[in-house]
Structure 1
Amino acid sequence: MIDRSHSLPVLRQARELGISRSSVYYLPAPVSGADLGIMRRMDELHLEYPFAGSRMLRDLLRQEGIEIGRCHVATLMKKMAIEAIYRRPNTSKPTPGHKIYPYLLRKLPITRPNQVWVTDISYVPMAKGFVYLVAIVDWFSRKVLSHRVSISMEADFCVEALEEALDAL
Structure 2
Amino acid sequence: MIDRSHDLPLTRQARELGISRGSVYYLPRPVSDADLKVMRRIDELHLEFPFAGSRMLRDLLRQEGIEIGRCHVATLMKKMAIEALYRRPNTSKAAPGHKVYPYLLRKLPIVRPNQVWATDISYIPMARGFVYLVAIVDWFSRKVLAHRVSITMEADFCVEALEEALARYGKPEIFNTDQGSQLDTSKNPVILS
Residues 148 and 158 of structure 1 are in contact (CA less than 8 Å); yes or no, is this contact kept in structure 2? no
Choose the corresponding residue for 1:163, options 145, 169, 172. Answer: 172
Residues 50 and 85 of structure 1 are in contact (CA less than 8 Å); yes or no, is this contact kept in structure 2? yes
For structure 2, the 5+ residue unaligned runs are 109-117, 125-131, 149-160, 176-193
Greater relative contact order: 1 or 2 (C-alpha under 8 angstroms, separation 6 or more)?
Answer: 2
Question: What is aligned with 1:9?
Answer: 9
Q: Secondary structure at 2:34's aligned position in 1?
A: helix
1:19 and 2:26 are equivalent in the alignment: no
Residues 131 and 152 of structure 1 are in contact (CA less than 8 Å); yes or no, is this contact kept in structure 2? yes
Question: Hey, what's the Cα distance between the residues in 1 that align with 2:3 and 2:90?
Answer: 49
Structure 1 residues 150-159 or 42-51, which shifts more?
A: 150-159
Residues 137 and 143 of structure 2 are in contact (CA less than 8 Å); yes or no, is this contact kept in structure 1? no
Question: What is aligned with 1:46?
Answer: 46
**Structure 2 vs 1, CA of residues 9 and 61 (structure 1 numbering), >3 Å: closer, same or farther?**
same
In the TM superposition, residue 76 of structure 1 has moved relative to its aligned partner by 0.4
**Structure 2 vs 1, CA of residues 54 and 9 (structure 1 numbering), >3 Å: closer, same or farther?**
same
In the TM superposition, residue 25 of structure 1 has moved relative to its aligned partner by 0.8
In the TM superposition, residue 7 of structure 1 has moved relative to its aligned partner by 2.3
TM-score, normalised to structure 1, is 0.62
Question: Hey, what's the Cα distance between the residues in 2 that align with 1:147 and 1:158?
Answer: 14
1:70-114 deviation per Cα after TM superposition (whole angstroms, max 9, x unaligned): 1100000001111111111122468xxxx97763869xxx9xx98
Question: Hey, what's the Cα distance between the residues in 1 that align with 2:15 and 2:31?
Answer: 31
Counting matched residue pairs gives 143
TM-score, normalised to structure 2, is 0.56
In the TM superposition, residue 5 of structure 1 has moved relative to its aligned partner by 2.2
Percent sequence identity over aligned pairs: 60
Question: What is aligned with 2:60?
Answer: 60
Question: What is aligned with 2:74?
Answer: 74
Residues 119 and 134 of structure 2 are in contact (CA less than 8 Å); yes or no, is this contact kept in structure 1? no
